[in-house]
Amino acid sequence: MRTVYLDNNATTRVADEVLDEMIPCLRDVYGNPSSMHHKGAEAGEPLNRARERVARLLGAQPEEILFTSCGTESDSTAINAALAAHPDKKHIITTMVEHPAVLTYCEDLEKKGYRTTFVPVDRQGRVDLNALYAAVSEETAVVSIMWANNETGTIFPVEEIAKKVKSLGAAVFHTDAVQAVGKIDINMADSAIDMLSLSGHKLHAPKGVGALYIRKGTKFAPFLMGGHQEKGRRAGTENHSSIVALGRACELAAEKMEEENTRVKALRDRLEKGLLDTIPNSFVNGDLDNRLPNTCSISFEYVEGEAILLMMNEFGICASSGSACTSGSLEPSHVLRAMGIPFTAAHGTIRFSLSIDNTDEDIDTVLKCLPGIIHTLRQMSPFWAEAMAANAE
């Protein structure tokens, strides 16, 4: 059976070009970059090149890039550094729709005495700017707002927000750009953003490597302490081959960004239109005018997302649902709840996320299978029967 992989916001396939640069690092260039001998020096050079490549994609300077183990570590490091650098400020601002990497850390910090404002979003998933700006004060140590939402693809105006919140007294602005990097143009050179997180496995590098951009001059405190790697900013022997892979992936992302925003976007739009045209009681979630080009969050009313996923899997199709399995019950995701998506639709929400690997054939497969799957599931759904009976009255 052919795999139709449409879950690229969860993770991506490692690109062949990336593997080609990664494998010699594992096989031959195995020295520890901190070692004084020639094998150490040999390993240092590709590390420097990777830093330059990541910086170039972000319009940053190489010394502003810190390598980490993942997007989650980058997020924690940024928030922790902001709080450590401003010990007199005990207020954090974030949104209700952040990834758990930020949300859970902020919730934990609340237990440790910090005050956190979770800013709401509207039905399109757009952050409430009035509520956000009203919350900022001289007490605010850090404002952390994602660049693009992983579930709906909604893009937040983080550059405008960074400028504004800092003018209102916030000390540091951090953005979780894990889903944005490689998909949209980012230029830190003329931005007020102080720190930015990214993750390798969302842009065709391996899992387990990430980076944090730290604007030159930003006060910083390390999250991991120990050795002197990364100029004392992050202890731990570097994940050398994966960092090299991340560098190559960033270079490729820059080359493929145009394709992401034209061919991939066209595939996404065709998928979306095809599903809306053939499946009644369905709608797309997110800010339709300001979305990542690869992401489609679509709700099918009165069916269960997990059942859709299982049935699509029978046809080789991989996607995600809008639910999280918590304490044995399937709760709609915190993002869809924050947006006020009705319960009967949030439960039947599927996220398709494309990449440059996808083809027209992939979209044809979904358009061929999914209308029948939804029809079959609705025939078994008591909610659908109820809704149809209510309509007929």
Which residues contribute to the site for ligand PLP (CB under 6 A)?
70-72, 99, 101, 146, 150, 176, 178-179, 199, 201, 210
Non-local (6+) Cβ contacts of 170 within 8 A are 93, 136, 140, 141, 142, 143
Look at strands 282-285 and 320-321 and give their pairing: unpaired
Please identify, using beta-carbon distances, which residue of 12 and 72 lies nearer to ligand PLP.
Answer: 72
To ligand PLP, the closest distance from the beta carbon of 277 in angstroms equals 29
To ligand PLP, the closest distance from the beta carbon of 390 in angstroms equals 37
Please identify, using beta-carbon distances, which residue of 136 and 335 lies nearer to ligand PLP.
Answer: 335
Please identify, using beta-carbon distances, which residue of 28 and 108 lies nearer to ligand PLP.
Answer: 108
CA 296 to chain centre: 14
Please identify, using beta-carbon distances, which residue of 44 and 210 lies nearer to ligand PLP.
Answer: 210
Q: How far is the C-alpha of 37 from the C-alpha of 342, rounded, in Å?
A: 62
To ligand PLP, the closest distance from the beta carbon of 209 in angstroms equals 8
Cα separations in angstroms, 166 against 128, 158, 220, 299, 355: 17, 12, 17, 37, 35
To ligand PLP, the closest distance from the beta carbon of 181 in angstroms equals 10
Non-local (6+) Cβ contacts of 208 within 8 A are 69, 70, 200, 201, 239, 242
To ligand PLP, the closest distance from the beta carbon of 89 in angstroms equals 24
To ligand PLP, the closest distance from the beta carbon of 206 in angstroms equals 11
Non-local (6+) Cβ contacts of 242 within 8 A are 22, 200, 205, 206, 208, 209
Q: How far is the C-alpha of 77 from the C-alpha of 80, rounded, in Å?
A: 5
Contact in structure between 344 and 382 (CB atoms under 8 Å): no
Q: Token pair of 126, please?
A: 């757009």
Please identify, using beta-carbon distances, which residue of 303 and 335 lies nearer to ligand PLP.
Answer: 335
Q: How far is the C-alpha of 177 from the C-alpha of 220, rounded, in Å?
A: 19
Please identify, using beta-carbon distances, which residue of 72 and 333 lies nearer to ligand PLP.
Answer: 72
Please identify, using beta-carbon distances, which residue of 294 and 381 lies nearer to ligand PLP.
Answer: 294
Look at strands 172-176 and 115-119 and give their pairing: unpaired
Q: Is 318 a catalytic residue?
A: no
Q: Is 314 exposed, middle or buried (0-12, 13-18, 19+ CB in 10 A)?
A: exposed
Instruction: Point out the residue whose Cβ comes nearest to ligand PLP.
Output: 71
Q: Token pair of 79, please?
A: 């928030």
From 196, 190, 189, select the one nearest 156 (Cα to Cα). 196
Residue 227's CB: how many other CB atoms inside 10 A?
12
Which of helix, strand or coil describes residue 330?
A: strand
Q: Is 380 exposed, middle or buried (0-12, 13-18, 19+ CB in 10 A)?
A: exposed
Catalytic residue among 250, 296, 325, 369: 325
To ligand PLP, the closest distance from the beta carbon of 98 in angstroms equals 7
Residues with catalytic annotation? 325
